[in-house]
Copies of this chain bind each other. A is one copy, B any other.
């Protein structure tokens, strides 16, 4: 089976499609002046766009890993996540605290979806 890469860069690809699954990179916000809500919204928009590029959508997300630089933002992040997910089609998910590559980043999300 062929491996298809979406927006492949010299370090990583934004998404990789193989055997009916799309693996997305860990995604972060571009506008890091925004708070955790705004950053989460930016990330979910990126996920929507990359899933579309892969021929998938958020109703097909299988699994999600979420990292927050401060786990106290868990409930706030969920206020953006909960209305976004596809009702009845929510993924397996794990959320933990971790520092991210840039100190201004507050959240990073990595998902895998069916295509």
Total identical chains: 3
Q: Is the Cβ of B16 less than 8 Å from the Cβ of A1? A: no
Residues of B within 8 A of A94 (CB): 25-26, 65, 67, 108, 110
- CA A26 to CA B93, docked complex, whole Å: 6
Q: Is the Cβ of B26 less than 8 Å from the Cβ of A95? A: yes
Q: Is the Cβ of A91 less than 8 Å from the Cβ of B16? A: yes
Q: Is the Cβ of B16 less than 8 Å from the Cβ of A19? A: no
CB distance from A83 to the nearest CB of B (A): 10
Chain A interface residues (CB < 8 Å from chain B): 1, 3, 5, 8-16, 18-21, 23-26, 60, 62-65, 67, 71, 74, 78, 81-82, 85, 87-101, 108, 110, 112, 114
